[in-house]
Amino acid sequence: GDKAFAQFLTDEIKEEKKIQKHKSLPKVSGGWELEVHGTEARLVRKIAGEKVTVTFNINNSIPPSGDVDTQEEQKPDEQEPELTSTPNFVVEVIKDDTKQTLVLDCHYPEDEIGHEGEEESDIFTIREVSFQPTGESDWKDTNYTLNTDSLDWALYDHLMDFLADRGVDNTFADELIELSTALEHQEYIKFLEDLKSFVKCQ
């Protein structure tokens, strides 16, 4: 059984490498520096008196595909639908002269249908906003967290503009999907390779 498993994995790795779009991770425009630690990635950008950090994790970032049954009928030749990774991401804005960090928890809505009336819909939304003490790794639950569900639209729009002024806009969010998808695929191939050596190990 293990031999067949290993053989299957070998073929699978070959296939995945064939469809891999990026041999190296795509860059995010706008002078962001990328650090990757396993499945967690961080983009950092310094602008006048501020440091902006965007952190995301690719685990569980691929939304479940709804129509599992119909896929069987499409083959043999048709390509499987492309998987895209749309992770939640956290934006931290640190001003040099304060002890506080403004933290904005953003995510990509599952369905983009609700906003058809609006001329230009944002591809991501802000879910929560809070202040956290700068430099502390553990966030305190005692700090007030603003949930945007019940937020005044004008205030919400200002928050979105605030992010856009710091380079976190639709273009950025698109490039983040691209980066995250490439990273996820890279990690997936690595996982298959690790699994193969694990299975072959006697």
Q: Estimate to the nearest angstrom the gap between the alpha carbon of 101 and the chain centroid.
A: 21
Residue 68: DSSP 8-state: H
Strand 100-107 to 50-57 pairing: unpaired
Q: Across residues 16-20, what is the average pLDDT?
A: 91
pLDDT averaged over the chain? Answer: 85
Residue 18 has pLDDT above 80, yes or no: yes
- Residue 106 or 48, more confident: 106
Residue 77 has pLDDT above 50, yes or no: no
pLDDT of residue 80: 56
Q: Across residues 62-77, what is the average pLDDT?
A: 53
> How many other β-carbons are positioned within 10 Å of the β-carbon of residue 105?
17
Upstream peptide bond of 109 is cis (omega within 30 degrees of 0): no
CB 61 within 8 A of CB 85: yes
* Burial profile 6-22: b = 16 or more Cβ within 10 angstroms, e = fewer: beebeeebeeeeeeeee
Residue 23 has pLDDT above 60, yes or no: yes
Backbone angles phi, psi at 4, to 5 degrees: -65, -40
Identity at 156, one-letter amino acid code: Y
Q: What is the pLDDT of residues 176-202, one digit of tens each?
A: 999 999 999 999 999 999 999 999 876
Q: Across residues 78-107, what is the average pLDDT?
A: 86
Report the percentage of the chain scoring pLDDT > 70: 84
Instruction: Kindly indicate the confidence band of residue 164, based on its pLDDT and cuts at 50, 70 and 90.
Output: very high
H helical segments located in 82-152: none
Region of 146 on the Ramachandran plot (φ > 0 left; ψ -120 to 50 alpha; else beta): beta
Q: What is the pLDDT of residues 118-140, one digit of tens each?
A: 445 889 999 999 998 887 666 66
Residue 72 has pLDDT above 60, yes or no: no
Q: Across residues 37-66, what is the average pLDDT?
A: 91
Residue 45 has pLDDT above 90, yes or no: yes
pLDDT of residue 110: 76
pLDDT of residue 41: 96
- The correct answer on CATH 3.10.280.10 for the domain covering 1-58+83-109+120-200 is yes
For residues 168 and 178, give the distance between their C-alpha atoms in angstroms, rounded to a whole number.
15
Look up residue 43 and give its two tokens. 């983009």
Q: Across residues 91-108, what is the average pLDDT?
A: 91
